[in-house]
């Protein structure tokens, strides 16, 4: 079997952990498997490098930031190869340039275009464990790019797809994907399996187990993922196309505290208004999520929506600058809100899921401010201070035993 194993920053944080990871990889190597290891930078290295860049130049050229950040992964792969060599196992580390992992040009947010597999395949065929830098690529000018924070997961999936690997294992500091954040919900359970679509929704909603682009890529190339702990042998969670849901309506409850609510009040009640407002926001690259429009009264109506907190200021600015043209009487912004979502492939074929969620919130007296749904997700906007109690209530409603 050809197995791609990816280890995150915590899993390679120091010499001891690197040693443990080396042992774990060697174990499978000795069983006769071909092993490709993808690593993140050690511990908080990437943050530390960013701090150093900031100290020298807060507006550092993006190309140079990527050049700097890529050293984090280069350090961990070299050390891993040394650890394996010390154990008498032939191993070789390769960076994105050596493999030839081609990406788009955009620094800090590059996407894979093509990965040459020849070098890796040759190394594997000569009996080596191949250790590849996560998170980085090269662009058309042969300059170093990075994929965005958390991007090593995406490297692992892209390599698994390119090499047609038999397995892609993502080792992390949690035991898998949970039905809710175990720190908030004591009864949260580890899932045996989850579909790509559900995982995509959860990853996008901020459940930080997997880089969301890695899930999209896995779905596209049908790479089955296993998310599991690097600290123990517990069985992880399998991410794949179809799951045996066993009547499970919901597979997870996710919280996004990074939301802001913006209300535009007293806009003209006529066709084209919503189009002009959201078109203006889109032109400024502002991503709008949950939208609510009130029933028009007389000549005017109100529209509210959510954006990520980082974009709230810009959104308000754009709206105020165009206030007259967009016929807006007033723009209001509110930060103390959070999005609570339930995700489940099972809701496509089951009525009453929304009602059940709303009942749970009613039971604990939590007010719903906005609602949005997709095929496999229901999101409500609630007050930030209600988040924990609401999460527990909703989780218990769907997962009580």
Minimum CB–partner distance for residue 150 and Mg ion (Å): 4
The C-alpha atoms of residue 186 and residue 198 are separated, in whole angstroms, by: 22
Helix axes 62-86, 45-56, angle to 10 degrees: 150
Please answer whether residues 108 and 137 qualify as being in contact, where contact means their C-beta atoms are separated by less than 8 angstroms.
no
User: By three-state DSSP, how is residue 166 classified?
Assistant: coil
Phi, psi angles (nearest 5°) of residue 341: -130, 145
| Contacting range for Mg ion; rule: CB under 5 A; set: 142-150, 214-222, 293-301, 351-359 | 142-150
State which of residues 72, 150, 176, 252 lies at the interface with Mg ion (CB under 5 A): 150
Nearer to ligand ASP, 172 or 341 (CB): 172
Distance CA 20, CA 7 (A): 11
Distance separating alpha carbons of residues 223 and 59, to the nearest angstrom: 38
Q: Which residues in 6-35 contact Mg ion (CB under 5 A)?
A: 8
CA atoms within 13 A on the CB side of 195: 17
Taking each helix axis from N to C end, the angle separating 273-283 and 309-321, rounded to the nearest 10 degrees, works out to 120
The contact mask relative to ligand ASP for 234-273 (x = CB under 6 A, - = no) is ----------------------------------------
d(CA 151, CA 132): 13
Nearer to Mg ion, 8 or 72 (CB): 8
Taking a C-beta distance cutoff of 8 angstroms, is the pair 40, 7 a contact?
Answer: yes
Q: Which is nearer to ligand ASP, 150 or 346 (CB)?
A: 150
Nearer to ligand ASP, 40 or 74 (CB): 40
**Taking CB under 5 A as the rule, does residue 72 contact Mg ion?**
no
Point out which span in 64-72, 146-154, 350-358, 372-380 binds Mg ion (CB under 5 A): 146-154
DSSP summary character for residue 177: -
Please list every residue from 144 through 203 that binds ligand ASP, using CB under 6 A. Answer: 149-152
CB of 222 to ligand ASP, least distance (A): 22
Residue 41 binds ligand ASP (CB under 6 A):
yes
Given the complex with ligand ASP, which of 13 and 326 has the nearer CB atom? 13
Binding site for ligand ASP (CB under 6 A): 8-9, 40-41, 46, 72, 134-135, 149-152
Q: Which residues bind Mg ion (CB under 5 A)?
A: 8, 150
């Amino acid at each position: 079997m050809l197995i791609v194993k990816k280890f995150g920053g915590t899993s390679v944080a120091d010499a001891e952990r690197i040693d443990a990871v080396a042992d774990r990889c060697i174990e499978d190597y000795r069983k006769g498997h071909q092993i490709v290891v993808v690593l993140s930078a050690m511990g908080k290295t990437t943050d530390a490098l960013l701090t150093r860049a900031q100290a020298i130049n807060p507006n550092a050229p993006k190309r140079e930031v990527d050049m700097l950040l890529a050293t984090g992964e280069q350090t961990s792969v070299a050390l891993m190869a040394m650890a394996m060599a010390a154990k008498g196992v032939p191993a070789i580390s390769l960076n994105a340039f050596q493999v030839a992992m081609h990406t788009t040009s955009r620094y800090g947010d590059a996407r894979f275009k093509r990965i040459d597999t020849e070098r890796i395949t040759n190394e594997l065929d000569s009996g080596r464990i191949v250790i590849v830098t996560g998170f980085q690529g090269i662009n058309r000018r042969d300059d170093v790019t990075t994929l965005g924070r958390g991007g090593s997961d995406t490297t692992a999936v892209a390599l698994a797809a390119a090499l047609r690997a038999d397995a892609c294992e993502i080792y992390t500091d949690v035991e898998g994907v949970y039905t809710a954040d175990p720190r908030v919900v004591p009864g949260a359970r580890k899932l045996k399996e989850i579909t790509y679509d559900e995982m995509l929704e959860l990853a996008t909603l901020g459940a930080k187990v997997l880089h969301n682009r890695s899930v999209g890529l896995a779905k596209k190339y049908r790479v089955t993922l296993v998310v599991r702990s690097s600290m123990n042998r517990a069985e992880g969670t399998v991410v794949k196309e179809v799951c045996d849901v066993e009547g499970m309506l919901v597979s997870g409850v996710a919280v996004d505290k990074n939301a802001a609510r913006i209300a535009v009040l007293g806009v003209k009640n006529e066709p084209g208004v919503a189009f002009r407002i959201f078109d203006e926001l889109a032109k400024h690259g502002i991503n709008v999520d949950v939208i609510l429009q009130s029933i028009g009264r007389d000549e005017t109506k109100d529209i509210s929506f959510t954006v990520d907190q980082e974009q709230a200021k810009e959104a308000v600015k754009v709206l105020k600058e165009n206030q007259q043209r967009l016929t807006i009487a007033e723009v209001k912004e509110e930060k103390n809100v959070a999005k609570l979502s339930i995700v489940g492939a099972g809701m496509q074929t089951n009525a009453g899921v929304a009602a059940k969620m709303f009942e749970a919130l009613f039971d604990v007296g939590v007010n719903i401010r906005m609602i949005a749904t997709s095929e496999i997700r229901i999101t409500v906007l609630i007050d930030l201070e209600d988040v924990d109690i609401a999460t527990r209530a909703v989780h218990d409603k769907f997962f009580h035993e």
